[in-house]
Amino acid sequence: MSRFLSLIIAVMLLAGTALADPLGLGRVAEPDEIAAWDIDVRPDGTGLPAGSGSVAMGEEVFVEKCAACHGDFAEGVGRYPALAGGMDTLQDERPTRTVGSFWPYLSTTYDFINRAMTVGYGEPASDDEIYAIIAYILYSNDLVDEDFVLSRENFTSIRLPNEGGFYMDDRIQTEHPLFIRPACMKNCKDEVQIIARVETAFIPADMNRDGSGKTRLAIGETLFGQCRACHQIGDGAQNGVGPVLNGIFGKPAGSNDRFDYSDAFAMMADEELVWDFDALNAFLKDPQGFIPGTTMNFTGIEEDFDRNALIAYLQAQGP
Ligand code: HEC
Ligand code: HEC
């Protein structure tokens, strides 16, 4: 019995004992009722009922119950799937995936036909008929001879060609270790060589802009002029239209108790946004884009260098 099924049954039993009494509803499921649900068949043959069926019998049943959709030779009709053929097509751009070419285990055939095809699409079939149908599908795939008889006893001796094409997900062993190696934090290279500079990366505050003679910090201070209408910074700064920005670099967003932030902002605060370089950089580039609904009525600063300079200035301000 699968774990999932056990769980359902456990829940049914619980519901039976816990609820039946006070409400007078329901009753404990009978063993044969549980057995009727317990129909899964596993690759190792667990769950297969007693029974057997021949290719010849399978052909008759298949033609009667399945061929309207899957074709007399399991080759598929119209857009209904083929159950046979397609060998050696798995590498093709449009592979033909059938029981013969693709499926890893024969047990899936029993399970699927019993669970879905004889109920949802076709007509009910007995256990023997299902064995026979599977024998016929194997025959249609050239995997057994015409006098073959499939039974519970020889079921697991049938191996499908593509079984080896499936394997257990082993990424926890094979890939995970590659991503959890401790990162090197210092002296990782013998010789350090700067091969490129990226504009958006954080550049030290005292670096100047193309020989203008003005430091980045000074440029940042000038740029902050655009913010002063709403924000104060430095000794004795007060909240205005916008909150005080003292020590904002590295602070959690929306953490000024005396300022009444917008809902959009409060939400970012709940999500624990912190004003590190990347967050400030994104916010100052496009405030509305970064925090849709913010009441900071400011279009943003287009130039990467200017945002850099401004952030350097903000970072240089004390708490
Ligand atoms: C009314 C049409 C119809 C009938 C009758 C029918 N099937 Fe199907 N069959 C389908 C459709 C549609 C699918 C694809 C369903 C899906 O993927 O959920 C399918 C899928 C299948 C598959 C899986 C194919 C794959 O590669 O995914 C098998 C095996 C199968 N059917 C066997 C049978 C058998 C055996 C019978 C007769 C007992 C039968 N079917 C009767 C329509 C039908
Ligand atoms: C028109 C007024 C206005 C201008 C101009 C403005 N801001 Fe704002 N700013 C606000 C308001 C209002 C908020 C609070 C937003 C909210 O609650 O949605 C805010 C929030 C902020 C925050 C987040 C503060 C916190 O406590 O989390 C930072 C950082 C910020 N602004 C930086 C700047 C910078 C840098 C500039 C200049 C480039 C600027 N702002 C220009 C009004 C303004």
Q: 36 CB under 6 A from ligand 2?
A: no
Q: Is the pLDDT of residue 155 over 50?
A: yes
What integer pLDDT is reported at residue 216 of this predicted model?
79
What integer pLDDT is reported at residue 200 of this predicted model?
43
| Residue of 168, 112, 133, 118 lying closest to 52 (CA atoms) | 133
Atom of ligand 1 nearest to the CA of 134: 35
Core vs surface per residue 179-197: b (16+ CB within 10 A) or e: eeeeeeeeeeeeeeeeeee
Structure token digits, residue 256: 């000024």
Q: Is the pLDDT of residue 156 over 70?
A: yes
Q: 290 CB under 6 A from ligand 2?
A: no
| Residue of 49, 57, 69, 48 lying closest to 118 (CA atoms) | 69
Q: Which residue has the tokens 């002296």?
A: 187
Mean pLDDT of the chain: 87
What integer pLDDT is reported at residue 258 of this predicted model?
93
CATH level 2 (architecture), domain 216-316: Orthogonal Bundle (1.10)
Q: 78, exposed or middle or buried, with CB in 10 Å at 0-12, 13-18, 19+? A: exposed
Cα dihedral 170, 174, 180, 183, rounded to 10, equals -170
What integer pLDDT is reported at residue 316 of this predicted model?
87
Residue ranges of domains in the chain: 39-165, 216-316
Question: What percent of the chain is modeled with pLDDT above 90?
Answer: 62
171 near 183, Cβ under 8 Å? Answer: no
**pLDDT tens column, 238-296:** 999 999 999 999 999 999 999 999 999 999 999 999 999 999 999 999 999 999 999 99
Question: What percent of the chain is modeled with pLDDT above 70?
Answer: 86
**pLDDT tens column, 53-76:** 999 999 999 999 999 999 999 999
C-alpha of 45 from chain center: 31
Overall average pLDDT of the 169-193 stretch: 84
- Alpha carbon of 296 to ligand 2 centroid (Å): 5
Ligand (nearest to CA of 259):
2
Ligand (nearest to CA of 67):
1
**pLDDT tens column, 9-23:** 555 555 555 545 678
Q: 70 CB under 6 A from ligand 1?
A: yes
Q: 112 CB under 6 A from ligand 1?
A: yes
Other CB atoms within 10 A of residue 121 CB: 14
What integer pLDDT is reported at residue 124 of this predicted model?
80
Atom of ligand 2 nearest to the CA of 314: 35
**pLDDT tens column, 184-220:** 888 888 887 777 655 444 555 555 555 555 777 888 8
Q: 104 CB under 6 A from ligand 1?
A: no
Q: 114 CB under 6 A from ligand 1?
A: no
d(CA 106, CA 160) in angstroms, rounded, equals 7
Q: Mean pLDDT lowest for which of 43-52, 73-82, 110-119, 234-243?
A: 110-119
Q: Which CATH class is domain 39-165?
A: mainly alpha
Q: Mean pLDDT lowest for which of 7-21, 73-87, 107-121, 136-150?
A: 7-21
Q: 138 CB under 6 A from ligand 1?
A: no
Q: 284 CB under 6 A from ligand 2?
A: yes
d(CA 267, CA 262) in angstroms, rounded, equals 9
- Alpha carbon of 9 to ligand 1 centroid (Å): 29
Q: Do domains 39-165 and 216-316 have the same CATH topology?
A: yes
Q: 83 CB under 6 A from ligand 1?
A: yes
Q: Whose CA is nearest to atom 33 of ligand 2?
A: 227
